[in-house]
Amino acid sequence: MACEVVELPGGRRAIVCGPRQPRRKCQCGNPATLECDWKVPARRSGTCDKPLCPTCTHVPAPGKDLCPAHAAMWKARRG
């Protein structure tokens, strides 16, 4: 959450914080700290971005995480 100090009349100051973003959860209910990196050209980000926890991710290569659905697709392509 981004906060900033705002100067008020009379020399007083206030700390104003922006809206807090909800914590994303994995499909299992655990806090999501990762996102699926499967390429999805139709999305603005270019990837799936499904929230994942470290337990539910599949790591096909260093720095790459896949959701269970895309992990199954990746495994099917590999034979």
Of residues 78 and 50, more confidence is placed in: 50
| 2 within some domain | no
| 28 within some domain | yes
| 45 within some domain | yes
| 60 within some domain | yes
pLDDT score recorded for residue 56: 97
Q: What angle do CA 51, 41, 69 make, to 5 degrees?
A: 40
Domains held by the chain: number: 1
| 14 within some domain | no
The boundaries of the domain holding residue 70 are: 22-78
pLDDT confidence of 23, banded at 50, 70, 90?
confident
pLDDT score recorded for residue 61: 94
pLDDT score recorded for residue 20: 74
Tell how strand 13-17 and strand 3-7 pair up.
Answer: antiparallel
| 17 within some domain | no
| 73 within some domain | yes
Check pLDDT > 70 for residue 1: no
| 16 within some domain | no
pLDDT score recorded for residue 32: 96
